[in-house]
Structure 1
Amino acid sequence: MKQGNFLSGHSILNLNSTLAKQKVKTLKNGSFYVLIFVFLLSPTVVNAIDITKQIHRPLHNSAEVPLREEADRLVRLGRQQYASGYAEKTIKSGLQALEIYHSIRDIKAQGETYDLLASAYIQLGNIQEAEDVLRRRIGIARDNKDFQNQIFALNNLGTVLLQKGETKAAGQVINDALVIARNLRNIEGQGLSLSNLSLVTARLGDYNQAIKLAETALIFRRQTGDVIGEVNTLNNLGEAYLMVGDYQNTIGNYGAAMRLAKINFDRPNQLRAIDGLVTAHAAVGRYERALELLEQRLTIAKFLNSPTEEFKYFISSGELYEKIGNYGKARNFYQQALSLAQKLDDIKQEAKLLYRINELPRR
């Protein structure tokens, strides 16, 4: 089963590519992609669900509908719900399907359903639940000697662990995936694993090695024509170059990522690339270009109807004007961010912004 990447922001998770491609297709008609890992834009936490208890409950489906047909219908429905951004409904449909597949002992279908559930939990920010279903997914793949799905499930688990801050553990499971991919000579799996390892290596502070891994990953990803995967890797590469202060290569890679993401309606990766470009251009004194990019960020945030992304726009704009020395405009943007933080009931950001506004020079 092919998979793309699912972490958004500055981390990249890996989603089932069937879902990812469906999402891209939906976006072209007016909706999404994402990882992640959009990871993502304004996650909502739902109550934890005990999957073990759920799949062992007595069945309540109508006897008129064959069980497998009903379970397959629920999975299709769950994928549609996920593509439309209804992660909570996806989980409900997925758990009902899982219950049926368990009763009829369809192991393969259980594994595919765990993939769907993991994507939905990640979208909601339920990282622990995502980890649980991914470990179950890996167990099924190992029991069936399904090496293809082991590659992608291990990558998914690794990126979830990375999001939890368990960087070394993430590196270990992703490296396991890379070993399998190399043994199978699986080009897609190698590209995905190398790209994720580049992100892990960067988090560990070895930026030069992260650059080498990402550049190698690009070769594999371009061989398979995985454009969304290529965008993720370009963003990883841009981030690594940014950390070593190579602004020319930072701008080159983030710029390529931004263009490809825009063409493919991959908004989360487009936003990530824009943020990297703003930082790089500001670092070399290209403030006008940085401001132009921030306006593009605002346009995307409004299109997505995402208060979280609008909040990031206000913060980044305030920081840029503060760097320039225009404290009046900086204060104005911070105050707009403060108003939005209050609407979002984000007490921590509210406190930080109040402090920041008070510390600005009055001139």
Structure 2
Amino acid sequence: MKQRYFLPEASIVDMNPPRKSKSYELGSWDCAILTSYRGGKSQFLAICLLILAMALSPLKASAVDITQQLHRPLNNPGLRDSREEADSLLRIGEQQQMSGAADKTIDSCLQALEIYHSLGDYKAQGKTYGLLAKSYIQLNRFTEAEDALRRQLAIARDTKDFQSQIFALNNISTVLLQKGAYSSAGKVVEEALSIAQNVDNLAGKGLSLSNLGLVNARLGNYNKAIKLYETALTYRRQVGDILGETNTLNNLGEAYLAMGNYPDTIGTYGAALRIAKTTSDRINYVRSIDGLIASHSSVGRYERAFDLLQQRLEIARDTQNLRDEFKAIMVYAQLYEQLNKYLTARHFYERALIIAQNMGDSKQEVFLVDKLLKMPKQ
């Protein structure tokens, strides 16, 4: 899921210092010997003796050390310390991202990037840009996320890292989807799929087909989306991508739900729920529950919907996720309103209003105040 339209190659390409190799040293020796032949046998022997003397001289060790330092700058203790600092910052950033501290993750990543740029470490830069993009997405800062992902993509192209290209392109398409740029997202993910097919990357095929299905679903092409999801599932299962399989199943459930195909919706979401529960995948588990609540309530199975909704609320409270708790309370209110149980619905809307105030969400607060004023009293 991770680079912008700001000509990332131009800003990143020359971060790597020119690299030398031992072949250049060998070339110099060859040149010296070949030149000596032109001066005659005695000159050649003299130069050979000179070379031998240089080889046996203790100065040779110093010369090699300097060359190695130039060729591998990380051997410099100061730079090695910098690398350790950057690696530590990246690890801290990963922990912060997992705990949901996106702002802190961004700070850690930017500090690490500054060091990796000075070291000319492309691989580490690419990894850091991917983590940076995740944090920007978490904060709904999609323009900055896209920029980070396009920089990651530029590095992957420079280093001929096809797998990273596939995943960066897919992540860019996801950001474009979030921004509502469906056509652009489709073109980007098609490029990712083309690369995956050319290098026969099964995981990349599964991911790209799933995201291409998502693009088509956003465009309302649900039949095509379903076919793409089903094909994606075969690849994801083939490579044992459990997380990817669960995500695609949830996408497939959404497509069935949009088409009003409730039996397949419930079956697909149910499969995703079972896998997510087994793998402790909280994000997909919650997605599956949300899909099942919507599908069961759509066919009048409110008792089952309320059972699932109670699970949803408990998860939100266990994880102290106020936003998820708000969403669960809102669904309670909406379901009771559908059942014309207005007093109970009002009770849940009032609870949602308190949570919105605690979160400082003025938009939801205004909506709920208006909702309560317009609701029937009984």
Alignment map for 1:246-285 (pairs within 5 Å) = 246-285=261-300
Partner of 1:89: 104
Provide the C-alpha distance between the structure 1 equivalents of 2:325 and 2:164, rounded to a whole number of angstroms. Answer: 37
Q: Quickly say closer, same or farther: Cα 1:85–1:209, change in 2 above 3 A.
A: same
Map 1:22-37 → 2, pairs under 5 A: none
- The aligned runs of 1:67-106 (5 Å cut-off) are 67-106=82-121
Distance 1:85 1:314 in 2: 22
Alignment map for 1:278-357 (pairs within 5 Å): 278-357=293-372
Which residue of the other structure, out of 354, 358, 362, is the alignment partner of 2:373? 358
Cα drift, residue 92 of structure 1? 2.1
Q: CA deviation at 1:165?
A: 1.4
Distance 2:257 2:281 in 1: 22
Q: How far 1:183 moved relative to its partner?
A: 1.0
Name the stretch that deviates more: 117-126 or 140-149: 117-126
Deviation at 1:257, TM superposition (A): 1.2
Match of 1:136 among 140, 151, 160: 151
Residue by residue over 1:2-32, the C-alpha shift from the partner in whole angstroms, topping out at 9 and shown as x without a partner, is: xxxxxxxxxxxx16xxxxxxxxxxxxxxxxx
Deviation at 1:362, TM superposition (A): 2.7
1:117 match? 132
Q: Is 2:79–2:119's contact at 8 Å kept on the other side of the alignment? A: no
| Matched residue type, 1:126 | R
- The one-letter amino acid paired with 2:361 is D
Can you list the C-alpha shifts for 1:179-213, whole angstroms capped at 9, x where unaligned? 11111111100111111111111110011111111
Instruction: For 1:152 and 1:139, locate their aligned partners in 2 and report how far apart those are by CA, in whole Å.
Output: 12
Aligned to 1:175: 190
SS at the partner of 2:280?
Answer: coil
**SS of the counterpart of 1:225?**
coil
Q: How far, CA to CA, are the matches of 1:73 and 1:336 in structure 2?
A: 43
CA distance in 1, matches of 2:357, 2:98: 30
Higher helix share: 2
SS in 2 for 1:75: helix
Which structure has the greater CA radius of gyration?
Answer: 2
CA RMSD of aligned residues (A): 2.0
Shift of 1:65: 5.0
Post-superposition CA distance 1:45-97 (Å, at most 9, x none): xxxxxxx79x99xxxxx948533333223222322332333322322222222
TM-score (norm 1): 0.81
Per the TM alignment, residue 119 of structure 1 is displaced from its structure 2 partner at its CA by: 1.7
Alpha-carbon separation, structure 2, partners of 1:147 and 1:69: 28
User: In structure 2, what residue type is equivalent to 1:345?
Assistant: G
SS at match of 1:66: helix
Distance 1:88 1:217, change over 3 A: same
Partner of 1:165: 180
CA–CA separation in structure 2 for the residues paired with 1:333 and 1:166: 36
> Residues 209-252 of structure 1: CA distance to partner in whole angstroms, max 9, x if unpaired?
11111111111111111111111101100000001100000001
Length-normalised TM-score, structure 2: 0.77
- Paired residues for 1:181-260 under 5 Å: 181-260=196-275
Contact 2:92 2:108 in 1 (8 A): yes
Unaligned segments of structure 1, at least 5 residues? 1-13, 16-51, 57-61
1:144 Cα deviation from its structure 2 partner: 1.9
1:358 CA displacement: 2.5
Deviations 1:28-50 (A, max 9, x none): xxxxxxxxxxxxxxxxxxxxxxx
Distance in 2 (CA, whole Å) between partners of 1:247 and 1:141 is: 42
In 2, the alpha carbon distance for the partners of 1:94 and 1:313 equals: 33
For residue 124 of structure 1, report the CA deviation from its aligned partner: 2.7
Equivalenced residues, count: 308
Equivalent pair of 2:93/2:104 in contact (CA under 8 Å): yes
Structure 1 residue 160, shift from structure 2 partner: 0.9
* Residues 319/136 of structure 1: CA separation in 2 closer, same or farther (3 Å cut): same
State the SS of the aligned residue for 2:85.
Answer: helix
Relative to structure 1, the CA distance from residue 73 to residue 354 in structure 2 (aligned partners, 3 Å threshold; closer, same or farther) is closer
Alignment-mate amino acid for residue 182 of structure 1: Q
- CA distance in 2 between partners of 1:227 and 1:203 (Å): 24
Q: What fraction of aligned residue pairs are identical, expressed as a percent?
A: 57
Letter in 2 for 1:119: K
Determine which of 123, 132, 150 is the counterpart of 2:165: 150
